[in-house]
Structure 1
């Protein structure tokens, strides 16, 4: 589609992709498995990230209209499953936003010089409520993209990530191998006898969750047939290298049983204390907190904008179609904030902050995996159902290439779903399984019930629904 917009170069697309995935929040999840993170990260890339990126690019360049995965699934599997896709992407954000909001509480504990508060459930819960409602109300009133956009990314994501990698390398060169142990077959490959450790794979997969969104740029890149797969492999390679350096050096500096999954400031504290500059931990915590709040701000509107389009198609009652004068989907935004507050209660009822964080992370991953299963199936179905649709990027090898790519993606997604139901060590197995199974059933069944009960009168007419 030529619209006069300047095409992205290969290096610009690589930069956009790395910016989208780059975050220090994932590093503790990697660090906790030591050398095995190499196996898990490469496995996640080969069985998940790369094939999903390629399938999404083919679908995005064939059906580029706004709506992304919901449009692809609707085209392949029908309106019901298109609605389920939108619903799950919206609902999983509740859990994702609780998880991200919780890191604000951990960070603020360090900013104010009270690191003990990072493991205080009540404090973390209070900050989840305050931070999320604050960014919600600001988004209702102001255009926060202009306020926090690029500044939040540079201050809160790029600088801390580069600092974490550099400091980790410095600490490890200075002290040598301390907590990581020697690299051999036994330490690098997870043992099937300790299957509960495999549930970590789900958390590592989540590092790549949302990668289908980057595929929207596939239509706007020079020579997409050649450059898009190159950008996928290069950006994935760089992402893996940077995450592994940060994860391995943290695993070397902190014993595995002392790593706090929700505390991304922990390795910085070790490194800055070693440098005799403990006050820099407060500074970096404040910077990361700015980045987290900027990310939260973007998430407040992103999924709700997709959902209001589904609502206007008649899948939800008119009350869900209301917008503010600035076009903000007010009903969805307020529901998000309310549900995030309720999900945040997990931090109060589950005593261990690490367990709460991990349970929410895994539930988010399970919901995303269901969406990815529908995207993969859509890729195969549309290859046969709509072969006449021109795609600027197609997976090499025609139908055979699509099948190979889809089988890899299906393998990774199914493995992730299976291991997600294995309770990790030091977790109440009954509570863990209850959160995952009951949470998934509620999230999947509810859109099917709503779709069944929808009425023709719900479809939006031409009148303005602005609040």
Structure 2
């Protein structure tokens, strides 16, 4: 759709996003301090793990996203890219997998927000299901309300959240880590050596590879906002480069800073990011900073939630606009926000969060649900990397203001590395945790759930009706 073309009955899309705003969309979607303690367990070898994730995912998705977004900046993100390469059905499946994975992931993000905020009040609140659910719902519906007011308002909120809630806390942790070393305080990890950076690959650590790959998931989020970008052909590649540098710097050095000061026994998923930071700050004699940093990280968690909440929702609205879903999903307000999708996902996410908080038995099943989010995202990214390669053959003459260097060889190298990394992550994502009682049940549950969450597009396309098409709706409503 060109800038001058507007769908009947749709508000005019405003070009409000520049390089900085686009970069912050990716930073907000990817950079998460909650990952620092779980990665700091590995000490210097976290560098090697991050390097694997960078080679097999971050660099490929950054290059792929820049080329695809500048070649097909019509909006819809992964839906548009995959549709151009493999058709409507594949594009719909890719987009729906990214959206449905969110429905399972939302309670995890919301519980992180609520438990982190508890450290600014009193940590004991995190054990109260009513406190957890109340804060989770305020954050969820509050973020949905922000998305309701359109791209300009959402972008400003996202910029603020990414800077205040992710970049500033990460930089503060890095500076404290530097201060720790300068002061000559004892390091909680062995002295540096090149061999210490090499990850220990074994049967127990191989499943961790899928976690590393998807630590950088979300770098394609800016692509969903293509219609609101002032100069997509020049702004996208610049934004991808800037966000990559920010994410890598904050992630690597923030993780190392925590590993310098906090003993390994304090670093695990169960203790959480704030307990590690509490130990870090108390040891340094600045315990008064715990509450302010908790508030900042809470803001960062909300910004992370907002990026994943609005991006795939906008893509799903594009699918509905083309007549592939019922009209309720195509409903947008005067700000251009896809309110039909936003309300639907908020209701489903709220129900799952309610079960997650108040039914302990659900928590055990949630390990399977969490694994399903990995598998669903792997499906998305395999299709994206395959589309990158396919479109160089099927649409070689489509203008691409940013093209991956090296011609076809460069595209195969980037896309091939991405496919290898994501396929391997999908396979190891099926390996059950040591503490899960029944391995066969785990694998079957993950595969069955993945199929159920990836399959609805096939149903929608099978039963779709002529009345779902925009032209039909326009005629019926009397709009011109």
Global fold match (TM > 0.5): yes
The one of 302, 305, 312 aligned to 1:293 = 302
1:163 aligned residue: 172
Native 8 Å contact 1:52 1:212 kept in 2:
yes
Does residue 251 of the first structure (1) align with residue 259 of the second (2)? yes
Q: Distance in 2 between matches of 1:141 and 1:72?
A: 27
1:213 aligned residue: 221
Instruction: Give 1:281 shift.
Output: 0.7
1:390-442 deviations in whole A, cap 9, x for unaligned?
Answer: 21122222222222222111111111112212234445565754663333121
Does residue 452 of the first structure (1) align with residue 465 of the second (2)? no
Q: Distance in 2 between matches of 1:252 and 1:351?
A: 37
Instruction: Give 1:71 shift.
Output: 1.0
Does residue 150 of the first structure (1) align with residue 159 of the second (2)? yes
2:208 aligned residue: 200
Range that drifts further, 63-72 or 239-248: 239-248
Does residue 462 of the first structure (1) align with residue 470 of the second (2)? no
Q: Distance in 2 between matches of 1:27 and 1:285?
A: 14
Native 8 Å contact 1:73 1:375 kept in 2:
yes
Q: Distance in 1 between matches of 2:420 and 2:399?
A: 28
TM superposition score normalised by structure 1: 0.83
Native 8 Å contact 2:76 2:314 kept in 1:
no
1:340-391 deviations in whole A, cap 9, x for unaligned?
Answer: 12333345555798x8887665433321211111111111211111112121
Native 8 Å contact 1:99 1:360 kept in 2:
no
Q: Give the SS at the match of 2:455.
A: helix
Q: Give the SS at the match of 2:220.
A: helix
Instruction: Give 1:20 shift.
Output: 5.8
Instruction: Give 1:16 shift.
Output: 7.5
- Number of residue-to-residue matches in the alignment: 456
2:349 aligned residue: 340
User: RMSD of aligned C-alpha atoms?
Assistant: 3.7
1:37 aligned residue: 46
Q: Give the SS at the match of 1:264.
A: helix
Q: Distance in 2 between matches of 1:184 and 1:442?
A: 47
Native 8 Å contact 2:221 2:307 kept in 1:
no
Instruction: Give 1:307 shift.
Output: 1.1
Native 8 Å contact 2:28 2:161 kept in 1:
no
2:317 aligned residue: 308
Q: Give the SS at the match of 1:265.
A: helix
Q: 1:411 to 1:285 in 2, by over 3 A?
A: same
Q: 1:221 to 1:429 in 2, by over 3 A?
A: farther
Native 8 Å contact 2:188 2:261 kept in 1:
yes
TM superposition score normalised by structure 2: 0.81
Q: How does 1:5-404 map to 2 (within 5 A)?
A: 21-113=30-122, 115-118=123-126, 123-137=131-145, 139-140=147-148, 144-145=153-154, 148-174=157-183, 176=185, 178-181=187-190, 188-193=197-202, 195-214=203-222, 219-221=232-234, 228=237, 236=244, 239-261=247-269, 263-344=272-353, 345-349=355-359, 362-404=371-413
Q: Distance in 2 between matches of 1:78 and 1:337?
A: 29
Q: 1:465 to 1:137 in 2, by over 3 A?
A: farther
